[in-house]
Amino acid sequence: MTLKEQLNDAMKRAMKAHDSLRLSAVRMIRSAIQNREIGQKCELDDQGVREVISTLVKQRRDSIRLFLEGNRADLVEKEEAELAILIDFLPAQLDAAAISELVAGVIRETGATSIKDMGRVMKLLTSMTAGRADGKAVSDIVRQQLS
């Protein structure tokens, strides 16, 4: 079952259960996917759908951080609930230890020795961790290991 089909099923279940939060989150995902498909003029595969969902996850995390700074607990709560729903559609997230192992392997593979080589390392890691880890967390660990 493709990710798009899973989203359609989730939307139907949310409608039947009268779960307005889940329904709005799934509709938001489907809308973002449709917008990306229109922009690229082609239908997205599962990897493309994961990229769209990852972008939405990043937006939610940024919003949560900004709302916390602005003392808007009501909006933080809503964004965190949406974030939990979005994460359900992504593959299992990598923890810091797994990311560190991947980074160490790529550094050995590329022969990177300094922070100047960060671009080469990140280029390989981005494809390996797409949808499974936050890009900022990965770059922080790369920076830490190359320093």
45-75: per-residue pLDDT in tens? Answer: 988 898 899 899 989 999 999 999 999 988 9
Q: Residue 41: which pLDDT band, with cuts at 50, 70 and 90?
A: very high
* Range of the structural domain that residue 30 is part of: 3-88
Same domain, 77 and 25: yes
Distance separating alpha carbons of residues 74 and 7, to the nearest angstrom: 27
For position 126, which CATH number holds?
A: 1.10.10.410
Q: Residue 94: which pLDDT band, with cuts at 50, 70 and 90?
A: confident
| pLDDT the model gives residue 7 | 94
Q: Looking at residues 121-132, what average pLDDT do you find?
A: 83
Q: Residue 44 region, left (φ>0) first, then alpha (ψ -120 to 50), else beta?
A: beta
Q: Residue 35: which pLDDT band, with cuts at 50, 70 and 90?
A: very high
Q: Which residue has the higher pLDDT, 119 or 130?
A: 119
* Cα angle 36-64-75, degrees, rounded to a multiple of 5: 100
End residue of a domain, out of 55, 88, 121: 88
Q: Looking at residues 94-114, what average pLDDT do you find?
A: 87
Tokens for 30?
């489907």
| pLDDT the model gives residue 137 | 86
Lowest-confidence region among 28-32, 58-62, 118-122, 125-129: 125-129
Same domain, 67 and 138: no
| pLDDT the model gives residue 47 | 86
pTM above 0.85, yes or no: no
Tokens for 122?
């990140």
